[in-house]
């Protein structure tokens, strides 16, 4: 699941890079940039929601803990995004307007607030699960219907209305994982391959319909155009299945281990990528590549060199546990050791891929990264 989360965060950064460099990417005129942007926006947010629902299953959910880990960074980054927007467009809206824009997902890290609300909704769901067999599944379906029927269009309700079904799907898949594992792996893999092919064919065929971002504001939008809603829902589900197939196809390779590492630092990338993308320079595809590189690597640099070095900044902007900060010497030793393990693992993995031998050095490096990341969080 780390690799799938890594793929999701890279798609998010690439999608934001495309929209920043090509604001009119939803124009009916066909260009490679428009085609790629429409492809990514077909499923990248549902994929991220699916992964979040999957990894939250089995973990302890506490309202105060999730507030500190999710809502606190959401609130902390609002003034940073506000100041960045004021500097970029020379407009100074009121603080109330800034908060309203943030809750509508138009400013700051809307996904953290959405994920915080999803975690809160799981508290009564788990209470129901402990008292009846399939009460959890029924309560999740009830919540999906409730969010569609609610007439509110603020405070995160529109995001719950559009993306909570994919979060719930990931949660249910994790819950019934043992049941799904009973099926033969070869057949499941072949089925995923077919689903991925169907997804690609349908996207090419329905490109003109899918180029418009479909965001429902309530039940009336579904009733007004049920076919469009159904197509976007189906394409999002097919895109998730295609992403799972893609990650499984890369299993045990260098690309797979790289995606796993990006999945472990997805929070570090997400919180600053929208700001770092604005530092990109270049033209055409060079600008897109520059924006993507800035969104990924400058965000990691900010996190590891600044935010993670302070317990206050780490807790405030990354949602990390409030702990005693490392000394500079111990921090450098841990970083250089983990970097050395990773480089040695990747080098050995490349050699073994060429010779056909099976060694476990790269896997040990990946596990070391995972333990270090979890200890810091």
Percent of the chain residues past pLDDT 90, beyond the cut? 3
Asked if pLDDT for residue 90 goes beyond 70, the answer is no
pTM attached to this predicted model: 0.77
- Kindly give the residue spans of alpha helices, DSSP state H, lying in 309-360: 311-318, 328-355
Examine the pLDDT at 364 and tell me if it is beyond 80: no
State the DSSP code for 100. H
Query: Would you say residue 214 has pLDDT above 70?
Result: no
Q: Look at residue 351 and tell me whether its pLDDT is greater than 80.
A: no
pLDDT in tens, 37-54: 888 888 888 998 999 988
Q: Where do the structural domains in the chain lie, given as residue ranges? A: 2-318, 328-376
User: What pLDDT score was predicted for residue 334?
Assistant: 47
d(CA 310, CA 41): 35
* Alpha-carbon gap, residue 186 to 54, rounded angstroms: 22
Q: How many whole angstroms separate alpha carbon 368 and alpha carbon 320?
A: 19
Q: What is the mean pLDDT of residues 250-262?
A: 82
Q: Count the neighbouring beta carbons within 10 Å of the beta carbon of residue 5.
A: 25
CA distance 337 to 352: 22
Lowest mean pLDDT among 29-33, 139-143, 177-181: 177-181
Q: How far apart are CA 146 and CA 117, in angstroms?
A: 14
Predicted pLDDT of residue 347: 46
Say if CB 201 and CB 242 are below 8 A apart.
no
**pLDDT at position 355, please?**
41
Q: What is the pLDDT averaged over residues 219-225?
A: 78
User: How much is the mean pLDDT over the chain?
Assistant: 76
Q: Token pair of 151, please?
A: 């007439």
In this predicted model, what pLDDT tens digit does every residue of 231-250 receive, in sequence order? Answer: 888 888 898 988 888 888 88
**How many angstroms separate the first and last alpha carbons of the chain?**
18
Q: 14 φ, ψ to 5°?
A: -65, -40
Q: Give the per-residue pLDDT at 47.
A: 92
pLDDT for 316 beyond 80: yes
pLDDT at 326 over 50: no
In the prediction, which pLDDT does 307 show?
87
Predicted confidence (pLDDT) per residue in 50-80, tens digit: 999 888 887 888 778 888 888 888 888 887 8
**pLDDT value of position 356:** 46
Model pLDDT, residue 288: 86
| Placement of tokens 């507030």 in the chain | 67
Residue with the bigger pLDDT between 228 and 234: it is 234
Query: Quick check: 124 pLDDT over 70?
Result: yes
């Amino acid at each position: 699941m780390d690799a799938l989360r890594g793929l999701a965060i890279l798609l998010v950064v690439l999608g934001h890079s495309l929209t920043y460099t090509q604001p009119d990417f939803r124009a009916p005129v066909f260009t490679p940039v428009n085609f790629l942007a429409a492809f990514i926006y077909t499923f990248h947010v549902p994929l991220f929601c699916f992964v979040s629902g999957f990894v939250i299953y089995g973990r302890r959910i506490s309202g105060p803990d999730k507030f500190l880990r999710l809502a606190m960074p959401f609130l902390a980054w609002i003034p940073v995004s506000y100041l960045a927007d004021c500097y970029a467009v020379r407009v100074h809206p009121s603080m109330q307007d800034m908060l309203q824009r943030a809750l509508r997902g138009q400013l700051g890290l809307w996904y953290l607030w959405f994920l915080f609300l999803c975690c809160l909704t799981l508290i009564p769901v788990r209470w129901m699960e402990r008292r009846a067999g399939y009460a959890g599944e029924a309560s999740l379906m009830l919540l999906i219907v409730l969010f569609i029927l609610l007439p509110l269009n603020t405070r995160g309700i529109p995001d719950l209305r559009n993306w909570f079904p994919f979060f719930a799907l990931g949660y249910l898949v994790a819950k019934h994982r043992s049941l799904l594992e009973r099926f033969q792996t070869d057949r499941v893999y072949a089925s995923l391959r077919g689903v991925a092919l169907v997804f690609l064919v349908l996207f090419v065929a329905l490109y003109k319909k899918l180029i418009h971002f479909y965001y429902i504001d309530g039940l009336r939008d579904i009733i007004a155009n049920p076919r469009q809603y159904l197509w976007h829902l189906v394409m999002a589900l097919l895109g998730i299945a295609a992403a799972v197939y893609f990650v499984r196809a890369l299993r045990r390779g260098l690309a797979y281990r790289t995606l796993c590492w990006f999945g472990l630092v997805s929070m570090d990338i997400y919180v600053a990528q929208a700001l770092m993308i604005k530092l990109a320079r270049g033209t055409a595809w060079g600008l897109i590549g520059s924006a993507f590189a800035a969104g990924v690597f400058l965000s990691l640099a900010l996190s590891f060199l600044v935010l993670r070095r302070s317990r206050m900044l780490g807790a405030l902007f990354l949602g990390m546990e409030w702990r005693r900060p490392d000394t500079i010497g111990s921090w450098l030793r841990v970083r250089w050791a983990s970097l050395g393990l990773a480089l040695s693992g990747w080098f050995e993995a490349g050699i073994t891929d060429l010779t056909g031998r099976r060694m476990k050095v790269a896997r040990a490096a990946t596990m070391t990264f995972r333990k270090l990341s979890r200890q810091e969080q």
